[in-house]
Amino acid sequence: MLVTGVLTPKSIAFAIAAACQQQGARAVLTSFGRATSLTRRSAQRLQPPPDVLELDVTDPAQARAVAEQVRSTWGGLDAVVHAVGFAPEDCLGGGFLDAPWSSVSRAFEVSSYSLRTLAAEFVPLMPATGGAVVALTFDATVAWPLYDWMGPAKAALESIVRYLARDLGARGVRVNALAAGPLETVAAKSIPGFAILKDSWAAQAPLGWDSADAGPVADACVFLLSDLARGITGELLHVDGGYHSQGAPLLPAERVAT
């Protein structure tokens, strides 16, 4: 399996790679530019330490080269995890109407269209019996404070999941998305107001929410990548403690009792 987006051991993708390895999967990681050295250090924390390949997900030629490297080294792969996203600073923080197209288009290119690029290059490496693609998102069915253009970029990502599910189903490839609750990652630090969002989540989620624990998301991803999810595609699975199902924060216990 190929996992993008591992930066540090706090990355959601790191937890996914670790959980998949615990279930017997062989992982290969990708990274890009200056982040590659961080990814290589993080890879040493996994057992066994996976190879790290450099991949700019916005460069189809490089993706094609990495796919060929995967083919020649491992013969193919069964699954791909899309865990990359980026938006320039002027796309976040409350300036929704002010962000220029040059910045917005970059957010869409990295966070959304790259899923199509990965599918186009790596799905052909999957066996005739099929495979799985899972993308990470942050529920784009509603607008979030300060998230601004990353919201529409994630909405596009979720739509691409459905269209890929349509086009790849005939060859047995399942494509799904995981909508995770807020987790304390390096990427989260770039989101203005993340601390407020994190605290409100813990108060509203019926099951509660530990923003320091990516384990529930990783376990759900293992499920979607496995044959246990063989009848599921085009799905958006919320792993958020139930937050998405609630219209308002939970009442204090004493008020509920009365």
Q: Given this model, what pLDDT does residue 247 score?
A: 84
CB-CB contact of 243 with 183 (8 Å): no
Are 156 and 109 spatial neighbours (Cβ–Cβ below 8 Å)?
Answer: no
> SS3 for 82?
strand
By the 8 A CB rule, do 70 and 122 touch? yes
Question: CA 189 to CA 205: how far, in whole Å?
Answer: 21
Kindly report whether the global pTM for this prediction surpasses the value 0.85.
Answer: yes
The residue range of the domain holding 127 is: 2-257
CA-wise closest residue to 177 among 165, 195, 191: 165
Q: Are 201 and 182 in contact (CB under 8 A)?
A: yes
In angstroms, how far is CA 65 from the centroid of its own chain? Answer: 22
Q: What is the pLDDT at residue 249?
A: 73
53 φ, ψ (degrees, to nearest 5): -110, 140
Spatial CB neighbours of 190, under 8 Å, sequence gap ≥ 6: 89, 92
CB 197 within 8 A of CB 182: yes
Query: Residue 252: what pLDDT?
Result: 64
Domain count, the chain: 1
Which pLDDT does position 254 carry in this prediction?
39
Contacts of residue 36, Cβ cutoff 8 Å, sequence gap at least 6: 52, 54
Main-chain phi, psi angles of 66, to 5 degrees: -65, -40
Helix (H) or strand (E) holding 54: strand 51-54
Query: 55 vs 23, 174, 175, 181, CA distance in Å?
Result: 26, 23, 21, 27
Phi, psi of 178 (to 5 degrees): -110, 120
Name the 3-class secondary structure at 187.
helix
Q: In this structure, what CATH number is given to the domain that contains residue 17?
A: 3.40.50.720
Which residues are within 8 A (CB) of 27 and not within 5 positions of it... i.e. 6 or more apart? 1, 2, 3, 17, 20, 21, 46, 50
**Residues that are catalytic:** 147, 154
Phi/psi at 190 (nearest 5 deg)?
Answer: -85, -5
Reading the chain (258 residues) residue by residue, the pLDDT tens digits are 999 999 999 999 999 999 999 999 999 999 999 999 999 999 999 999 999 999 999 999 999 999 999 999 999 999 999 999 999 999 999 999 999 999 999 999 999 999 999 999 999 999 999 999 999 999 999 998 889 999 999 999 999 999 999 999 999 999 999 999 999 877 766 666 677 777 788 888 999 999 999 999 999 999 999 999 999 999 999 999 999 999 877 666 534 444
